[in-house]
Amino acid sequence: MENGIDSLLKHIGDLYLNEKMSDVTIIIKGVKLPAHRLILVRCKYFQAMFESGMVEATSNRIELRETSIDGFKSVLKWFYTGTADITSSDHAVMVLRTAHMYEVTDLVDRMTDYFEENFDDDYVCQILNEAILLSLGELVDKAVEFVRDLPYEILEHENFKQLSTDALNVMLTRGVHEASNGAIFRAVMGWMRANPSKTAEFCDILKHVPLSSVTIEDLAKIPTDVIDLRTIIHLTIQQEISGPSYCLMDENVAQPKYGIKVIAGGDTSFFERDEAILKYKIGSSGNSIVIDLGRRFMLNSFEMQLFEAHSGQTYSYWIAVSEDNVNWTPVIDHSKYPCRSLQNLYFDVRPVRFVRIYGTASTTAFFQIASFGAFYTTQTFEIDRETTLFMPSYNVALPAKNAIISQGFSFLVTFGAGVIMQLPQPYLLDSMRVLPCAEQLPVCSYELEVSTDGLVWNHIISEENVALWRDIHFDMQPVVFVKITVTVLKELRPNAVAIVDSFDISDRELSSVLGRRDGNVYENLLKWAMQSPLNESDISTAYTKHLKPMMVEARSKL
């Protein structure tokens, strides 16, 4: 049985292009389309029109100019039914353009999904044109992904000549870079012949075409009415110095398919072999690793896995980048900090072909990396340009972020030197959130310190008799190590030891109560208690008040 909602939707849908109860007529190039104001106000464009006080607000005729009749019919049907019948790719482009013109965002999204599901060689160039014209970034990205898989087919397709200038530049810098330089050059020459009215833009377009390996035969075929040969030669010389820059978003470009190789400081085949280690001796004559990416890429991020043969192995280093292997710009400076594990490194976007990694210190005599990646990341990040350090907006004190406990067991109850957490790299931090008290100790005292080398410590905060989570804010500073020393309430500690000694409670139970697993807890507490005058207090009262509730809870969890 048809329910009420289905019946309502059907009746509304039946009003599409139906003159019954129509109170407005839309006219496009002489074609009249009956419509209903209450339906049209689904669209922001028409809602603003009816509320504006313009003549259309009261007239029963609305004339639309520069609008496709077929495209608008589909948009109008969307208002009534929530569906749009697409008859061809050309029709789909018209619907997308019209929906965007009249601010029908839900239909624009639907058409974007349609194109992503129906890319083909014949229409990807047309779709890319439209996506760039309408600033539909997601659709641009999907079109580029499709082109990357079929670069030769797209370059040779007749529709390549129909690309707009902006679409052509996107195609050259992001889409067809895996094709041969000759194939790219010939396709661009074909585009220029087909677009003689755009000669003023030819030089800028050729800056994105790799010219150094173009053959004499290809150069000889250039018609003089397309571009002057001397211009080509001049651009070729310029590219020997700089060259085109490719922008591949969120893709690791440090891959053999792009021509990457190690040209100094280690195994030249490092990127071609699995589980290889790039290694050089610090202070040797070849005192740095130099990587040639094979091409110039727009980059703003590196990922570098430092090799760890054993626990505690750390390195210090700096990284510089270059376009020509002559002029270098430092982008990362971790030369003062002990680093380990995966390094997530960020810097201002810039063209890069060569990367120099200079090891300044190591717990061994060698600087070693297990992997290296280079990216143009679209994720937002913040760095301090003076120090080059990353300022994270998320929690970095997690095993998933390669933080480790380098001393102690946990952030819970500790005695003596405290617990030290080591981050994989220096971060600029100004806040922390700490839960200092163990579950069995609802109240405790603690001290928080930070360090960049694990030797010199900066005091951040000390608090006594606190509970629950502590939100701590401090002046922004570089941090590699975090130390937290937590103590039980001063009045409870000696009494607890005396009580344990009196009632002959085993170390295992004491460990459970105090949140520790080693036998030193009892010895350390007993030594402390022997020096405390509080042990003269009434043991039975202290036991009933303090320790017994803790033990009952702890035993229930054994």
- The CATH number for 60's domain is 3.30.710.10
* Of 5-9, 196-200, 451-455, minimum mean pLDDT range: 5-9
- Whether 451 maps to a domain, the answer reads yes
Residue 441 pLDDT? 58
What percentage of residues in the chain have a pLDDT greater than 70?
A: 78
Band of residue 293 on the pLDDT scale cut at 50, 70, 90: very high
Could you read off the pLDDT of 374-383 as tens digits, one per residue?
A: 999 999 999 9
The count of structural domains within the chain is 5
**Mode of pairing for the β-strands spanning 61-63 and 24-28:** parallel
**In the predicted structure, residue 148 carries a pLDDT above the cut 70:** yes
What percentage of residues in the chain have a pLDDT greater than 90?
A: 40
* Distance in angstroms (rounded) separating the CA atoms of residues 258 and 286: 25
- Whether 287 maps to a domain, the answer reads yes
176 vs 53, more confident = 176
> 223 and 342: one domain?
no
Residue 508 pLDDT? 42
* Distance in angstroms (rounded) separating the CA atoms of residues 349 and 352: 9
72 vs 544, more confident = 72
CATH code, domain carrying 456: 2.60.120.260
C-beta neighbour count of 336 within 10 angstroms? 15
Band of residue 509 on the pLDDT scale cut at 50, 70, 90: very low
**In the predicted structure, residue 36 carries a pLDDT above the cut 60:** yes
> 481 and 541: one domain?
no
Residue 556 pLDDT? 47
Range of the domain at 273: 256-375
What's the distance, Cα to Cα, between the start and end of the chain in Å? Answer: 60
163 vs 494, more confident = 163
- Whether 384 maps to a domain, the answer reads no
Query: Which of 223, 246, 269 represents a domain boundary (last residue)?
Result: 246
Please list, in sequence order, all residues whose beta carbon lies within 8 angstroms of the beta carbon of residue 192, skipping any fewer than 6 positions away. 198, 199, 202, 205, 226, 227
Element at 429 (helix H, strand E): strand 419-434
**What six digits make up the tokens of 505?**
């409670």
Query: Which of 447, 468, 488 represents a domain boundary (last residue)?
Result: 488
> 503 and 476: one domain?
no
Mean confidence (pLDDT) of the chain: 81
Query: Which residue type, as a one-letter code, is found at position 423?
Result: L
* Distance in angstroms (rounded) separating the CA atoms of residues 31 and 76: 14
Residue 41 pLDDT? 87
**Angle at Cα 533 formed by Cα 532 and Cα 534, nearest 5°?**
90
* Distance in angstroms (rounded) separating the CA atoms of residues 124 and 116: 10
324 vs 414, more confident = 324
> 68 and 147: one domain?
no
List phi, psi (to 5°) of 474.
-150, 170
Query: Which of 246, 277, 299 represents a domain boundary (last residue)?
Result: 246
**Helix 89-101 with 124-133: angle, nearest 10 deg:** 0
Buried b (16+ CB within 10 A) or exposed e, 375-407: bbbeeeeebeeeebbbebeeebbeeebbbeeee
> 94 and 181: one domain?
no
Residue 2 pLDDT? 59
**In the predicted structure, residue 338 carries a pLDDT above the cut 90:** yes
Query: Which residue type, as a one-letter code, is found at position 390?
Result: F
> 309 and 358: one domain?
yes
> 181 and 268: one domain?
no
Residue 214 pLDDT? 66
Could you read off the pLDDT of 224-258 as tens digits, one per residue?
A: 666 767 777 766 666 665 667 888 889 999 998 88
- Whether 80 maps to a domain, the answer reads yes
* Distance in angstroms (rounded) separating the CA atoms of residues 481 and 403: 10
> 300 and 371: one domain?
yes
Band of residue 532 on the pLDDT scale cut at 50, 70, 90: very low
> 274 and 371: one domain?
yes
C-beta neighbour count of 275 within 10 angstroms? 6
**In the predicted structure, residue 396 carries a pLDDT above the cut 50:** yes
- Whether 53 maps to a domain, the answer reads yes
- Whether 251 maps to a domain, the answer reads no
C-beta neighbour count of 312 within 10 angstroms? 11
> 498 and 528: one domain?
yes
Contact 291, 262 (CB under 8 A): yes
**Angle at Cα 532 formed by Cα 526 and Cα 533, nearest 5°?**
135
**In the predicted structure, residue 414 carries a pLDDT above the cut 60:** no
**In the predicted structure, residue 358 carries a pLDDT above the cut 80:** yes
**In the predicted structure, residue 510 carries a pLDDT above the cut 50:** no
Could you read off the pLDDT of 65-115 as tens digits, one per residue?
A: 889 899 999 999 998 888 888 888 889 999 999 999 999 999 999 999 999
Residue 352 pLDDT? 94
Report CA torsion sign: 68, 70, 73, 74. negative
- Whether 161 maps to a domain, the answer reads yes
Residue 505 pLDDT? 42
**In the predicted structure, residue 151 carries a pLDDT above the cut 80:** yes
* Distance in angstroms (rounded) separating the CA atoms of residues 346 and 426: 12
Residue 408 pLDDT? 66
**What DSSP state is assigned to residue 408?**
S
Among the listed residues 86, 135, 78, 79, the one whose alpha carbon sits nearest the alpha carbon of residue 115: 86
> 290 and 341: one domain?
yes
- Whether 112 maps to a domain, the answer reads no
> 504 and 443: one domain?
no
Contact 374, 254 (CB under 8 A): yes
**In the predicted structure, residue 540 carries a pLDDT above the cut 60:** no
